[in-house]
């Protein structure tokens, strides 16, 4: 056997040994990506389940049911993780559901929330939050591609539900509700800032790349969200 033949055999053996290693190296990033998408999908599903609890809390108040029945949409933050002192509280994941043309409710759209300010009480703990969107102007704020703000600078009046119950405030463009009275107290002015469309979470939940409008327009669905949509529909159907 000559030297050229030996060299060819060695190269062939090396290629055979390297093949599985290279294949594994190529598969690793794909596996990591799959795991990340699975984690995000699971997180989105948890948010949906938690949002059902928020709807059930809202449904316990007759006045809130009446308000929701006439609403154009609702933005639910199932678990507000921390209420900071004063302003600039850290937020949590939120879900937007809007009225559909037939009077029902859309599939949920996932957003990140960065800060809740003005009216946040010192020492208050986080909890369930809901922002009822009373008109098209409030809905349009969520359809922007940039960071969303529900505040006076955006031309929106955000009313404290506690003050509405007391009869000291009108409905405004948005009504802010919490299961913990201590979060808002009796403050007249509340604002939610830094709300952003969570592209990764929506992609993972619906298994395709979508815009907020795509989801709202019914171009996709996830059966796991049906219980949330049904709970909201049941809460508002009687009115």
- Supply the pTM of this predicted model: 0.80
Q: Which has more confidence, 16 or 44? A: 44
Q: What is the mean pLDDT of residues 78-97?
A: 65
Q: What's the pLDDT at 181?
A: 67
Domain boundaries, the chain: 44-237
pLDDT, the chain, mean: 79
Cα(25)–Cα(34) distance, rounded to whole angstroms? 15
Is it the case that residue 39 has pLDDT exceeding 70? yes
Q: Quick one: pLDDT band at residue 115, thresholds 50, 70, 90?
A: low
Question: 2: Cβ–Cβ under 8 A, 6 or more apart, which residues?
Answer: none
Both tokens of residue 150? 């529900």
Q: What's the pLDDT at 80?
A: 75
Q: Which has more confidence, 130 or 24? A: 130
Q: Which has more confidence, 121 or 43? A: 43
Both tokens of residue 115? 């800060």
> 48: left (phi > 0), else alpha (psi -120 to 50), else beta?
alpha
Please check whether residue 55 is in contact with residue 228, taking contact to mean a CB–CB distance below 8 angstroms: yes
Helical pair 3-59 and 62-69, crossing angle rounded to 10 deg: 120
Both tokens of residue 161? 């539900």
Q: What's the pLDDT at 182?
A: 66
Is it the case that residue 78 has pLDDT exceeding 70? yes
Q: What's the pLDDT at 19?
A: 46
Q: What is the pLDDT of residues 196-228, one digit of tens each?
A: 899 999 999 999 999 999 999 999 999 999 999
């Amino acid at each position: 056997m000559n030297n050229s033949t030996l060299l060819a055999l060695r190269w062939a053996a090396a290629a055979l040994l390297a093949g599985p290693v290279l294949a594994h190296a190529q598969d690793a990033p794909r596996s990591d990506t799959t795991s990340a998408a699975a984690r995000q999908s699971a997180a989105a599903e948890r948010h949906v389940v938690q949002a059902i609890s928020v709807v059930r809390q809202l449904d316990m108040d007759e006045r809130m049911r009446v308000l929701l029945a006439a609403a154009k949409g609702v933005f639910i933050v199932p678990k507000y993780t921390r209420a900071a002192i004063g302003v600039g509280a850290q937020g949590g994941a939120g879900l937007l559901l809007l009225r559909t043309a037939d009077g029902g409710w859309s599939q949920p759209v996932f957003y990140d929330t960065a800060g809740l300010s003005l009216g946040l009480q010192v020492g208050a703990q986080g909890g369930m939050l809901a922002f009822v969107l009373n008109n098209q102007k409030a809905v349009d704020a969520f359809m922007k591609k940039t960071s969303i703000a529900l505040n006076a600078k955006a031309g929106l009046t955000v009313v404290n539900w506690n003050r509405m119950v007391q009869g000291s405030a009108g409905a405004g463009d948005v009504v802010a509700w919490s299961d913990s009275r201590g979060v808002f107290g009796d403050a007249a002015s509340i604002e939610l800032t830094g709300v952003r469309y969570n592209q990764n979470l929506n992609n993972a939940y619906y298994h395709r790349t979508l815009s907020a409008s795509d989801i709202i327009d019914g171009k996709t669905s996830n059966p796991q969200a049906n219980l949330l949509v049904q709970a909201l529909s049941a809460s508002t159907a009687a009115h």
